[in-house]
Structure 1
Amino acid sequence: MEFLVDMVTTVPEGTSEDGVADMRRREAARSAELAAQGSLLRLWRPPLAPGEWRTWGLFRADDADELEAVLASMPLRAWRRETVTPLTPHPNDPGQPSR
């Protein structure tokens, strides 16, 4: 299954710039691992309000429980809220192989 995940991150007050930079580095490393494993397919940056930290991600997992394990493994999970939308194939999707 594929899932669209809207991830909104809020850095806790008092977090140092070094702390934010470290978190970003760890998140980038984990994202690369998930991409190599085939769990993370794409990331987008939607239009942002000033100071907003938001990402849309396309993930692949067998089910919602597996997706939850993937999301829980990401360092930024500690600072963000997520909205998950399960996706199903559309019969007219031009990206699907002909049947």
Structure 2
Amino acid sequence: MEFLVDMVTTVPAGTSDDEVADMRAREAARSAELTARGSLLRLWRPPLAPGEWRTWGLFQAADADELEAVLASMPLRAWRREAVTPLTPHPNDPGQAPR
């Protein structure tokens, strides 16, 4: 299954720039691992409000429980809230192979 995940990150007040940089580096490394194993397919930046830190991600997992494990493994999970939308194929999707 594929899932669209809207991830909004809020850095806690008092967090140093070094802590933010470390968190971002760890998130990037974990994202690369998830991409290599086929769990993370795409990332986008939607239009952002000033100061907003938001990402849309396309993930692949066997089910919602597996997706939860993937999301829980990401370092930024500690600072963000997520909205998950399960996706189903559309019969006219140009990216699908003909049947």
| TM-score bin, normalised by smaller chain | over 0.9
CA drift of 1:23 comes to 0.1
Q: What CA distance in whole angstroms lies between the structure 1 residues aligned with 2:92 and 2:12?
A: 43
Equivalenced residues, count: 99
Residue of structure 2 in register with 1:85 after alignment: 85
TM-score with structure 2 length normalisation? 1.00
Residue of structure 2 in register with 1:21 after alignment: 21
Structure 1 residue runs without a partner (length 5+): none
Secondary structure, counterpart of 1:14 in structure 2: coil
Q: What CA distance in whole angstroms lies between the structure 1 residues aligned with 2:67 and 2:10?
A: 21
Structure 2 residue runs without a partner (length 5+): none
CA drift of 1:16 comes to 0.1
Query: 1:71 and 2:71 equivalent?
Result: yes
Runs of 4+ residues over 3 Å off in structure 1:
none
Post-superposition Cα deviations, 1:60-93, rounded to whole Å, max 9, x if no partner, equal 0000000000000000000000000000000000
Residue of structure 1 in register with 2:7 after alignment: 7
TM-score with structure 1 length normalisation? 1.00
CA drift of 1:25 comes to 0.1
